[in-house]
Structure 1
């Protein structure tokens, strides 16, 4: 008699469905309103069941979600609670009793040899602890002969697939479907190179079901979308839907064009397999040539489980693929069997979901902003929405071609993603929600003239996609952006010189926002007509006339009542206090701090001065290389004026031909040279002290620093490499000489180890800096 099958759940259970436009509001309303017993309760329940079922179908069967994961989670959680509170109304076909979606008629149905289950989702660490403690206390668990250990895995945001191998040969691949019956997608799965058609090694069962997740790696997804946009096609919405849609292509040749991969994470039917734990099974599957995820760990305590969740949450975008949570399982199969299943989920596993990074919101408008180098960029103005822990109202749209490729219209409901937990990105429109609203929507038209100074816009050179305002010297908004940039951390790092202060220095208060829908429209110009005079405000050499102009600077502030905005605005002084009968007007404490910080900034290293000049393409990496090579602004200018300047500059590591051209062009403009002269006159140091004791024994070596070092900041570590002649690279390759790995080093460390590159901790890094390669020759890797 064959061994009893032990169905394995998916490491990634995609959240079903996104709903029509009012579903988000409906979910919030359902959360807030008390349930009224009787007919209204049953009506509410039936409506909720219909909503959940409809959006599951949109997500699983059509790969075209209509609401965000978070909105669906709210609907589904409310349905679960409603059924728990009123079991008498639960329908036999409730979505809470089902797994996944239905089977599409476009593909042949496949009955799985053992059922594929879903996972119980939880959304807080408290729920993870409660589940873990309940599992520990379970009587069936205590009866087990195996020690309780937790298997932690990342929750891949992809498509669940079941592979059937007979005598080691792949004979069938099917989607999960409803858990019992899936769709036959064998021909499409055979195009994925990472899935073996014949198992390797030995000791694989005569018949075995392998469960896993098909996904598109993050880097490949970005590159694929960039190619689509370049070809004038609409980009794919997200990696999960792209993977699912790829597997459901009618033509396998189309599937083969997509950069699909798979990680396996469990077995269904596997008669005769002797492994006692799921982690042992992963080692076996790897020996058979199956692609097993590198991101799993067996731990002993719930505290370690929480640590795994925290670590991967912090580094989730450093992984090969997108994740939306962490799956926690009991590792021993005997414990899994003792704990058993509900009708939908195993009791021995749970899925913790990170806060949502993708939500839906309304696109209210598309406006443009002018950057510090004159580039005009469209950006989205949206109904404020909470995503990845912060409220977002604006997101860049890059250029007019991207707006067109994304297919968004003003008034659309759009999908918003927080890329890397930092940068808001409009993914695209929810097309299904346009029906009946076509008259309310309008296309975006790129302006022909600068919204700040009125100058005609044009590409910088023929063939450029971006358009720019050529009035760099006099455009008020460009000046604002440059002043804000020079005060930023990557340049002079001037505390108290943020964007608002830069705006107050360079642009007048503009129109009354109360008459303009609450939008503050800058007027310009302000008291600072160009950045040349910025250091004249420093405490060491104050310009009385310039400082006096700051006393007149006013900005619009919303009038607040009991902590809330009133929608009414008033003009108030920005840099100076209001004069009273007892005390005359004077600089505020923040303004005095600005003067002091400007004085301190005069002694910043040369590379920061170069960054602060806002030379196109010249960022921290190129600036460090130039400062290391030449040592002073005067010598850089001499190099620029010498014969063969372009070729000489291009040969500097980290510079190249494009940056060389940008430097030559920038320094050829008279008013740019005037900025340097004014900063020098104000006392800005433009020469680095040369330490004769530093030996350039890292010449030509590419060194990558990753993770957090105890006594070196990332910038300090890079500078230490550069001044010794090395290249502080950002990615690991076969040409990398060393990888310096600190705490939470992530995927760069993994790649270094895979390529056999020597890894150094901070102690080893110091030895390398002091003594060169000979000092670390033969030094073992920290992990060894």
Structure 2
């Protein structure tokens, strides 16, 4: 049996000193975000500690900074009971519900309704709740919230999070408690979430749906070495059992935890009454998008801990705390059906009919499925439970299918072979993701063509909306847009809900639209690939409708900003007999063109901004959009990366859309893009 060697006292002292220094610098860097040494100096301290521990392995302890990684994978998570239950909070979604909470607290405490109660407020992190047990300052056990009474042992995984101290220390002489059960929320920052999803996509792995899922999935890895590769962080918000130190208020807890090296959200606040708590909620909702992490509301807690004991708890939640939630941006709902819609260009787009649900403060009952390929890629079926997301005006969209909830009764969707409106056989050109109805006389296309023709950027016919367009086509009053100018007041009186005044108003709006510009008229015609910008370029170059009509392919291609697709579409449109009849009808009705005022040269507001386009734009071709961005100082990238500032989402977007969403990039629709480039939608 080998003799136990004697370790020099100076080595033992040096190892102890190195650990203290490294933990202090971790605290400065990861908790205070205020390092006092360089990375190189920190690396030198860590290297020296590793060398000494390698030389004297008997000095290695579980709480050494070198032991944050390297634990062997576990076969399964063991269960850890919570000495004091980690209860969930009741939710509130309105001011009235929050005021009711305040009134209940006062009634329970026999306080007058006009007496103020002091509360603490803090952002409600959208992550995974955990409890960390420190005995004599040493981190011994960490667990998830689980069912509130017991959770999973994730000690070794939590040790990989560098903002978690393996040993508590006092920054201002405060005694360290003999026992401290610290509670916090593990989360992943938005930027780190983007990078992680980008890496997963590059390896062909499915992206996480949101930062919360990413954080939970990362912490619940059986192999701590996997968790160590994930950029997790934590904010502490409370305590369970404490021995050796006494707290009187929740605010004192929030002020004391950082003094022991435990990170607390910088936005925590003490407020005098419930009205100030509500004001804090509105304040946090305004800055929500600018925060580096996801929050889904605020947490309101009675500040005085002695009142916690009096208020007590219900079966699953405390009476002294409340989660005041923001409207959700992601929710779960069911796909009741999948239908297809026919656009004005004949594009047939699948749409999910959803069980109505509130997303981001708006009731959503439909979500775009973009095209047949996307349905296959996400495997969306009728009857599926899905995660739906809404962000800005680009969404709602289906993020993912919750396949665990399938019963076997779900039905796969099959794209129809014929147009659901007119029965014409659908076609899909090579290289395109979209199926189209080739029938120019299709009812669905005609209704949407009328709406496009009457839209603000085209002929600007006020009062001609979807229901009116459908009624005009249903009654056979309009068979092409030319017929609009031959309608009489008595014709309009046939429409549902039309009395004399309404009929006269629409008649007069149609008559007023006869005076327009060549550019607006060209755009109104709905020529494929000719948006507002292309229409302006053509009008400026050719000066007259007759010149455009007679232009050859070579003439059209000579127009700066007009690409081959747009040129061919224009050339073909003016050689189609049906189109020429409609055009003649419009001109005979009295359409006249006035000169358009020249726009002042634009500044370069997009300087340094990078754009990516996915899907078709209505107002211009992809090439035109690229030229506009470049003219305003921006650049257009061909692929999605985290360096992209804006992803412009048009009709039927492709795989770039999924990748951009997975990376959490800013996505804008066509209307928002037009505003950015200074063009009226």
TM-score when scaled to structure 1? 0.52
Could you tell me whether the CA contact under 8 Å between 1:414 and 1:427 is conserved in 2? no
RMSD value, Cα: 5.8
Aligned ranges 1:740-751 → 2 under 5 Å: none
Q: Name the CA distance, whole Å, in 2 between partners of 1:277 and 1:493.
A: 63
Cα deviation for residue 121 of structure 1 reads 3.2
- Please, which runs of 5 or more residues in structure 2 have no aligned partner? 1-73, 611-627, 637-641, 646-677
* Aligned match of 1:596: 508
How far is the alpha carbon of 1:505 from its aligned partner? 3.6
Partner of 1:367: 339
Deviation sequence 1:480-518 (CA, Å, 0-9, x none) = 223324545676664322222223344x37xxxxxxxxx
Q: CA 1:226/1:529 → structure 2, altered by over 3 Å: closer, same or farther? A: farther
> How much has 1:266 moved relative to structure 2?
3.8
Change in CA separation of 1:701 and 1:390 when aligned onto 2, cut-off 3 Å? closer
Secondary structure in 1 matching 2:381:
coil
Counterpart check, 1:397 vs 2:355: no
Q: CA deviation at 1:611?
A: 6.7
CA contact (8 A) 1:408 1:414 kept: no
Contact map agreement 1:162 1:174 (CA 8 A) in 2:
yes
Residue 469 of structure 1 is aligned with which of 431, 436, 442? 436
Higher relative contact order (CA 8 A, sep 6+): 2
Aligned residue for 2:451?
Answer: 484
Gaps of 5+ in 1: 1-103, 510-525, 553-572, 578-586, 650-658, 705-721, 737-768, 770-784
In the TM superposition, residue 354 of structure 1 has moved relative to its aligned partner by: 5.2
Separation in 2, partners of 1:393, 1:261: 36
Equivalences for residues 401-480 of structure 1 within 5 A: 401-410=373-382, 412-415=383-386, 417=388, 419-420=390-391, 423-426=395-398, 431=403, 434-435=406-407, 438=408, 440-462=409-431, 464=432, 466-469=433-436, 471=438, 473-480=440-447
In structure 2, how many angstroms separate the alpha carbons of the residues matched to 1:316 and 1:606? 45
Secondary structure in 2 matching 1:504: helix
Contact 1:214 1:261 in 2 (8 A): yes
The whole-number CA distance in structure 2 between the counterparts of 1:451 and 1:125 is 46
Query: Contact between 1:702 and 1:735, CA under 8 Å: does it hold in 2?
Result: no
C-alpha offsets along residues 432-472 of structure 1, whole Å, 9 cap, x if unaligned? 5544xx4x54321112333334444444442x4x2231627
Kept in 1: contact 2:127–2:215 (CA 8 A): yes
Q: How far has the Cα of 1:690 moved from its partner?
A: 3.5
Deviates further, 361-370 or 203-212: 203-212
Q: In the alignment, what sits opposite 1:669?
A: 572
CA 1:576–1:428 in structure 2 vs 1: closer, same or farther (change >3 Å)?
A: closer
From 586, 597, 601, the counterpart of 1:689: 597
- Could you tell me whether the CA contact under 8 Å between 1:414 and 1:426 is conserved in 2? no
Deviations 1:322-348 (A, max 9, x none): 555432124x56676676643654443
Name 2:15's counterpart in structure 1: none
Deviation readout 1:37-86 (Å, 9 max, x if unpaired): xxxxxxxxxxxxxxxxxxxxxxxxxxxxxxxxxxxxxxxxxxxxxxxxxx
Q: Is the 8 A contact 2:419 2:437 kept in 1?
A: no
CA distance in 2 between counterparts of 1:384 and 1:735 reads 33
Q: How does 1:738-777 map to 2 (within 5 A)?
A: none
Q: Structure 1 residues 123 and 385 mapped into 2: Cα distance closer, same or farther (>3 Å)? A: closer
CA distance in 2, matches of 1:367, 1:635: 43
Q: Distance in 2 between matches of 1:327 and 1:645?
A: 63
CA 1:387 to 1:231, structure 2 compared with 1: closer, same or farther past 3 Å?
same
In structure 2, how many angstroms separate the alpha carbons of the residues matched to 1:608 and 1:223? Answer: 44
Matched residues in 2 for 1:205 and 1:612: separation?
A: 76
Q: What displacement does 1:589 show? A: 3.4
Q: After superposition, what is the alpha-carbon deviation per residue over 1:10-60, rounded to whole angstroms, capped at 9, x for unaligned? A: xxxxxxxxxxxxxxxxxxxxxxxxxxxxxxxxxxxxxxxxxxxxxxxxxxx
Q: How many residues end up aligned between the 2 structures?
A: 533
Provide, for residues 307-328 of structure 1, a one-character-per-residue CA deviation record: whole Å limited to 9, x for no partner.
4445656886776665554321
- Taking the aligned partners of 2:375 and 2:167, their CA distance within structure 1 comes to 45
Q: Structure 1: how far apart are the matches of 2:426 and 2:203?
A: 25
2:471 to 498, 501, 504: 504
Shift of 1:175: 0.6
CA distance in 2 between partners of 1:193 and 1:676 (Å): 70
Distance 1:199 1:598 in 2: 76
